Amino acid sequence: MEQTVHSTPLENAERPSPSGLHRELKAWARDLVIALGLAMIIIVFFYQPVKVEGTSMAPLLSDQERIFINKFVYHFEPIERGDVIVFWYPLDRSKSFIKRVVGLPGDQVEVRSGRVYINGKPFQESYVPPQFVDMSAYGPSRVPIDEYFVMGDHRISSNDSRIFGPVPAGFIYGKAVFAYWPWNHFGTISASADAVVK
């Protein structure tokens, strides 16, 4: 005996059946798990959470602040003046430091009465508050090829290239990109547009 099959009327098709709703929820759950998994892979392999210790990068970064660093960015783009970088401390590779790039390979760096000069020209740094400027002198000194001269923004309390010298490129393993704790510092950390030689 032949069986008659009816197509579903349009008005009934718009109402999901319980089994259809179940399938849709499963699809949403699957997509959410995949998205979370991909986010975790990106964070684990491309970004690394780090805790800042000390005040040498104040006021940009505070003691005990939590940030993410991008571990692969310098495989695709050059290190630029003004970048906030994380690197192995040249005098003890069991420690990591975070500082700002001031001098690029080949630059002549000099500090006179706390004022930085790059290749004889004043280096504009509005991110360094007047109360954080020390009156030290350094150089002039040429930054070797494939090395970078770094300084903390809080110049009075910063152990930086004025003391331990330029940092070899091979010691640099990340760029500070995002602050996530405390909440009032939540946001991106970008190279300062004010880090220019005039």
What integer pLDDT is reported at residue 189 of this predicted model? 86
Distance CA 50, CA 68 (A): 6
26 is catalytic: no
Q: Is pTM, for the whole model, over 0.75?
A: yes
Catalytic position from the list 26, 95, 99, 126? 99
Residue 23's pLDDT is what? 84
CA–CA distances in Å: residue 116 to residues 99, 113, 134, 141, 167: 15, 9, 11, 12, 18
Q: Is 198 an annotated catalytic residue?
A: no
For 158, counting Cβ atoms within 10 Å of its Cβ (0-12 exposed, 13-18 middle, 19+ buried), the class is: buried
Amino acid 163: pLDDT: 95
3-state SS assignment for residue 146? coil
Q: What is the pLDDT of residue 6?
A: 46
Nearest partner of 141 among 105, 102, 109, judged by Cα: 109
CATH classification number, 49-197, choose in 3.30.70.420, 3.10.20.740, 1.10.600.10, 2.10.109.10: 2.10.109.10
Mean pLDDT by 10 residues, the chain (198 residues): 46 59 84 82 77 93 93 92 96 94 98 95 92 93 98 95 96 94 84 55
| Structure confidence at residue 12 (pLDDT) | 52
Of 56, 158, 161, 192, which one is the catalytic site residue? Answer: 56
Predicted pLDDT at 51: 92
Classify residue 37 as exposed, middle or buried by CB count within 10 Å of its CB (0-12, 13-18, 19+).
exposed
Q: Is 191 exposed, middle or buried (0-12, 13-18, 19+ CB in 10 A)?
A: middle
